Amino acid sequence: MMEINEKYKVKITGQENSGQGVSKIDDMIVFVENGLPDDEGEVLITEIKKNYARGRMVSFNQTSSSKQEAPCPFYNECGGCDLQHQLYKDQLAFKEDKIKTALTRIGGFNNVLINKIIFDEQFYYRNKVTLKVDGEQLGFYKRNTNEIVEIDNCIISNEKINEIIKMLKTFVRHYNKNNFKSIMIRYSDALMISVDSRNDKLSSELVAFLINKISNIKSISLNNKIIYGENYIEEKIDNLTFKLSPTSFYQVNINVMKKLYCKTIEYVTKIENKTILDLYCGIGTISILLANHAKSVVGIEMVKSAVDNAIDNLAINGINNVMFIHGKVEKSLDLLEEETVDTIVMDPPRNGVDKKTLDTIIKINPQQIVYISCNPATLARDLKILSEHKYELVEVTPFDMFPQTNHVECVVLLYKKS
């Protein structure tokens, strides 16, 4: 019988969904932290469940050709990254295989065209981070805990954000007194800082410190209230401008996001003069980018601040053939069932599209669906439902939106079967 804190000889044969190594000991599957295919050595068992166990390598007889020394000194504790121990080219291969496996095993798709994964810079790409604070500690949570790993530099975050992290450590030490819970930094052409605190009376100290130490701050909020500047910053895509509020969702990797939107437009423009539904539309980025390629666009989003941003973004960019609806997608779609819709674009959260919405989409009967997903498993589940009714899966394009992590983004094109 396997026991916790005992060592066993293993060979890693694959990677599971989050990137951990997979091995077997006496027919029990063992997930090995930072293990890679072809690693061989001893694993220390740290957890045993009914159908699997977890462990970490403590010695090696052989190391994988994919293995590298993690470039971040905080990697072995910090929970922000999963794959820094793996060469980047092999991270990309892992993500392509992850998509193929999900489509085959969950969706039942065996001969789908999956394009080569599209990527950009592997470091310093994030335009937004949320730092956790506990007393004088500032950083990110340790893997699978609420303990904080103190950092002064994050190699997947924008270098401007790293400058601010160093300054914030000073502020936390001098002014915190266990008041702060988290600090969000978003960087574009200007800076937005949003603080979650147990004390609403820190406004003057916070503003004075930040504007004295950090240049180009446009927005500071404390507990969701603006205490300095505007309640938004702006981001540009080509010749369009988009407002972002502190709570608005926006992709953290601008360069790859632009590539993803280009592919989305390429798929959508295969049908001309169309009426488009943009589901889970956020601040309206995709709706507005598609406006010049459509007769009309309707975006649906449940977050009120995002819809407010979206409406502002229409005015800023002089767009007059797009409208936005505030509400849950599954309820708002019922109002549009009788409308003629040529194309549906949808970018749902990680849990995918609910069954009611999928049923309504099938009733709406668009010629074309473009599905943007950050979760291959729920994507495959939803595509299976659509394909069982009237839609053919044409192709999938993966994007490495989150290098050094196990996450992968996809854009999928479906057509109504003839």
Domains delineated in the chain: 7-62 (2.40.50.140), 92-121+250-416 (3.40.50.150), 128-233 (2.40.50.1070)
Determine the length of the chain: 418
* % of the chain at pLDDT higher than 90: 80
**Least confident stretch, 52-56, 129-133, 335-339, 361-365:** 335-339
State yes or no: pLDDT of 207 exceeds 90. no
pTM across the whole model: 0.94
pLDDT of 335 reads 78
φ, ψ at 22 (rounded to 5°): -120, 130
Q: For the segment 298-332, what is each residue's pLDDT rounded down to a tens digit?
A: 999 999 999 999 999 999 999 999 999 999 999 99
Q: How far apart are the first and last CA of the chain?
A: 57
What is the pLDDT confidence band of residue 82, given thresholds at 50, 70 and 90? very high
What is the pLDDT confidence band of residue 23, given thresholds at 50, 70 and 90? very high
Beta-strand ranges (E) seen in 161-290 are 180-187, 191-197, 217-222, 225-229, 233-237, 240-244, 274-279
Q: How far apart are CA 219 and CA 230, in angstroms?
A: 5
Active site residues: 374
